[in-house]
Amino acid sequence: MWQSEFVQDQLRRLFPSCDVQILGMSTRGDEILDVSLAKVGGKGLFVKELEAALTDGRADIAVHSAKDVPMELPEGYCLAAIGSREDPRDAFVCSRYSSLAELPGGALIGTSSLRREAQLREQHPGLAFGALRGNLDTRLSKLDRGEYDAIVLAAAGLKRLGLESRVRALIEPEVSLPAAGQGALAIECRAHRTALVDMLAALNDPETQACVRAERAVSRALGGSCQLPLGAFALLERADGDGVIWLRGLVAAPDGSRIVRAEARGSMRAPEAVGRQLAQTLLAQGADSILASLQ
């Protein structure tokens, strides 16, 4: 809802004569909280109902966390805009300890992400992990009740909701590489509505869009889903007319026993090509065997 209200405010500011209303909806991803996303359909559970509202005309646009948008959109849909990125890092949230390194052996970490779990298992093999679902208030309440010793969340969500004070430490990409699109908002609409697509271009951040397109291309090329612990994170090294994308990626075994990492650089004018290049490098370095083991 915060994301929708944020986009609503932007549209009202840019187009004062436009009447912008919010159609509040609950998705299957919001409702199924006792099973991991990897077991019940993946990230698309946060998107399908919203796309149905676009199809039947109840809504004109849908606002998503970019990391929740499946890599393949249904035919006739498009991401008309990618907004400027909030902090893309993961956040360590804990009441008693100030960092992952301070946690005692056997401490229980709550996370909903196989990507986070695999990377943290590799670096902190003495820790235990438990599934954590629900909205931010629910997750923080479970931590405060002592169900977990610490939890790991996206920093962007905490900051947007004014909960930055709960962050004990930010986890750098070198420790936990973010998910494709993490920290960015994506605005989806029907592709044939060209006037609307043109209007939404005013909300697009070209640099963030190029980075997110490169990240999504990695995941798309590898068949990325919630079942695959995959990270992809791009930065723009040079932001002139032909900026250079620095893209890092990884594919991991869910238990963190093996992680393949690689990086690529290329023009922001061809972000998907940079993503495909990185995906091929990951496969050549052994990601193919990890993918095969997950089938």
Give the number of other CB atoms < 10 A from CB of residue 105: 9
Q: Which fold has domain 90-171?
A: D-Maltodextrin-Binding Protein; domain 2 (3.40.190)
Choose the catalytic residue: 68, 87, 90, 149. 68
Q: Which class for 39: exposed (0-12), middle (13-18), buried (19 or more C-beta within 10 A)?
A: exposed
Reported CATH class of domain 205-295:
alpha beta
pLDDT band at residue 238 using 50, 70 and 90 as cut-offs: confident
Answer for the pair 143, 107: CB distance below 8 angstroms, yes or no: no
Is the entire prediction scored with pTM above 0.85? yes
**1-84+184-204 and 90-171: identical CATH topology:** yes
> Per residue in 240-265, pLDDT tens?
667 899 999 999 999 999 999 999 99
For the domain 1-84+184-204, what is the CATH superfamily, name and number? Periplasmic binding protein-like II (3.40.190.10)
Contact 232, 218 (CB under 8 A): yes
Whether residue 68 lies in the annotated active site:
yes
Q: Dump pLDDT digits (tens) for 58-71.
A: 999 999 999 999 99
pLDDT at 33 over 50: no
Q: Which percentage of the chain shows pLDDT scores above 90?
A: 84
Query: Half-sphere exposure of 221 toward its Cβ, with a 13 Å CA cutoff?
Result: 26
Delimit the domains of the chain by residue range: 1-84+184-204, 90-171, 205-295
